[in-house]
A and B are shown apart, each in its own frame.
Chain A
Amino acid sequence: MLGVIGAPSIDALFDEIPAQLRIDALSDVPPGLSEMEVMQLMQARARSDGRPLCFIGAGAYEHHIPAAVWALVSRGEFYSAYTPYQAEASQGTLQSIYEYQTMLASLTGMEVCNASMYEGATALAEAVLMAVRSNRRSHSARVLLPQGLHPHYRAVARSMALNQGVSLEELPYDGETGQTAAAVLAPYQGQDITAVVIAQPNFFGVFEDVDALTDQAHALGALVVAVVNPTSLALMRPPGSWGQKGANIAAGDGQPLGCPLSAGGPYFGFLCTRLEHVRQMPGRLVGRTLDLDGRPGFTLTLQAREQHIRRAKATSNICTNQGLLMLAGTIYLALLGPEGLERIASLCMQRTAELAEALCRIPAVRARFTAPGFHEIVLALDRPVAPVLAALDALGIQGGFDLSEHYPELGHALLTCATEMRTSADIDAYARALRVVLAEAP
């Protein structure tokens, strides 16, 4: 090969690089391992981490993933394919995305859905920026976010909005119900508000009065950005049906649909909207069209808004999406169907109710909010939560998420969750362990 190139050595191929920049070896990297050795290392580390019993939600939920999902997603033709820029060679990927777009648009009650964002928090941030672009009548770029929205989602929105002149203001929640009352929008009457974000359920697991909030927001001239849990949409009226006119944009995390918890990612974000806003929507879009012979086929479309064409004026800098996870979500939904998704969602609610009941029988524990919710609940303890969680952890139980850092006003508060995967025996085990932990001196 070197003969064909006309170079004396491989090193000669690097001769355009200044000699002082070339290194002789990577000193701080260990030598290579065989596959067997690496797998032994990984298995040992995995074993040492083990599989504690999980009662944490807070934005990521442990659901059963049908075996067929990852058997199909792991096929090399999906796993090792690239972005479908050569449409004729990528009809598998493109058609599955079209099916995904259809399912998520329907689930959220919207007209279009894009081919995924990174995850829920960035999807919301992009939805906020999209709302600012789309609301022609508003010039303030003021966006209202509920405090009852996931604290990490609010943090990410801040990181992304900071440099784009968008101001984020927070709406309080009711300390009794845990809900965001529609009345909190009243003080903004007559002001220029660009968008209002409504989470359903909210971070506390509580159901919001989305119709009143949506109508009040629209009355302010603001666009409504919905943040929703996709499993809950099997049972809940979707954002497209909220209030008189429906939400304008819906976003959220698709993790519950076929994505393993995997320590935080990869998941996928979904972003859906009405046709009138489609050109303001970032990310890829797949459309169905005809080929030269008049046969239907699929292709990426409306690409002129994206970074590779519009560059500095693109709707976003997003290029890589979460394609493989979006496929997992599509196959998950195809396998469950409407009946399966409803049953999962109902079972989650039931298990969480059982969990709440079992734990609240313990004197030191009571439900913190009065409004009904989906599959998470905030419990008030009579003592700091962190040591309780640590003690439960040592017993192999992950009891939930400590709210005291982000919501100090709630006192000793714990957000806990039981999905369809938690059996009655699991819930029993948690309750027994908690009794033991709490019986120790406070």
Chain B
Amino acid sequence: MSNIPDDLTYARSHEWVRALPDGSREMGISDHAQHALGDLVFVELPEVGRALAAGEACAVVESVKAASDVFAPLSGTVLAVNEQLRQEPELINSDPYGAGWLLRFQPGASGVAGELLSAEKYRELVAAEG
């Protein structure tokens, strides 16, 4: 049974979003996603300052058997990326919601929050995928 913290919101493409106190957002991929990928070997992160468009690929996570796009859950601008992942991509496997965070971004004014799922709805989605 995969771990799905209640205090986060989720995209259908298995990214999570955390609202930070300063109004920015932090994101990563869910426990379900890291499990499906297997041991991660490489992460390709965007440049700080890059514009994000909701639903477009903004990063790539690579395991031995797959290289998956990570999609921006909201529009915005990249503020910071998790540099530790360059040396230790396995942090995404061991701590997908904590030390395995991918990037932090400033959401755009037109952020469509309605597209994101609550933990409850995401749990249903994961269960349906089987």
Contacts and interface: CB of A to CB of B under 8 A. Distances in A.
| Direct A–B contact present (CB less than 8 angstroms) | yes
A304 B66 contact: yes
A283 to B, nearest CB: 16
Contacts of B67: 304-305, 309-310, 313
A36 B117 CA distance: 73
Interface in B82-111: none
Contacts of B47: 136
B63 interface: yes
Nearest to A136: B47
> Which of B47, B62, B69 lies at the interface centre, i.e. has the most chain A CB atoms within 10 A of its CB?
B62
B69 A313 contact: yes
A313 B65 CA distance: 15
Contacts of A136: 47
Interface string A111-143: 000000000000000000000000010000000
Contact of A309 (B41, B42, B44, B66): B66
Contacts of B65: 304, 309
B64 interface: yes
Contact of B64 (A279, A304, A310, A313): A304
A305 B66 CA distance: 8
B63 A304 contact: yes
A305 B63 CA distance: 10
Contacts of A305: 67
Nearest to A305: B67
A305 B44 CA distance: 12
B71 to A, nearest CB: 13
Interface in A297-320: 303-305, 309-310, 313
Contacts, number: 20
B69 A304 contact: no
Interface in B35-62: 41-42, 44, 47, 62
A121 B86 CA distance: 34
Nearest to B42: A279
A148 to B, nearest CB: 36
> Which of B44, B62, B67 lies at the interface centre, i.e. has the most chain A CB atoms within 10 A of its CB?
B67
Interface in A302-341: 303-305, 309-310, 313
A167 to B, nearest CB: 25
B49 to A, nearest CB: 13
A303 B64 contact: yes
Nearest to B65: A309
Interface string A266-289: 000000000000010000000000
A333 B97 CA distance: 51
Nearest to B69: A313
Contacts of A309: 65-67
A106 B44 CA distance: 28
Contacts of A313: 67, 69
B90 to A, nearest CB: 15
A313 B44 CA distance: 14
A305 B42 CA distance: 11
Contacts of B62: 279, 304
Interface string B8-51: 00000000000000000000000000000000011010010000
B78 to A, nearest CB: 14
Contacts of B69: 313
A337 B63 CA distance: 38
A85 to B, nearest CB: 12
Nearest to B47: A136
A310 B61 CA distance: 12
Contacts of B63: 304
A304 B69 CA distance: 12
Contacts of A304: 41-42, 62-67
Nearest to B37: A304
B62 to A, nearest CB: 5
B27 to A, nearest CB: 21
Interface in A226-255: none
B103 to A, nearest CB: 17
Contacts of B64: 303-304
B39 to A, nearest CB: 12
A310 B62 CA distance: 10
A303 B42 CA distance: 12
A279 to B, nearest CB: 7
A303 B63 CA distance: 9
10 contacts: A279-B44, A303-B64, A304-B41, A304-B42, A304-B62, A304-B66, A309-B65, A309-B66, A309-B67, A313-B69
Which 8 pairs across A and B sit closest by C-beta, in order of nearness? A304-B67, A304-B62, A310-B67, A309-B66, A304-B66, A309-B67, A305-B67, A309-B65
Given A279-B44, A304-B67, A309-B67, 17 more contacts: A136-B47, A279-B42, A279-B62, A303-B64, A304-B41, A304-B42, A304-B62, A304-B63, A304-B64, A304-B65, A304-B66, A305-B67, A309-B65, A309-B66, A310-B67, A313-B67, A313-B69
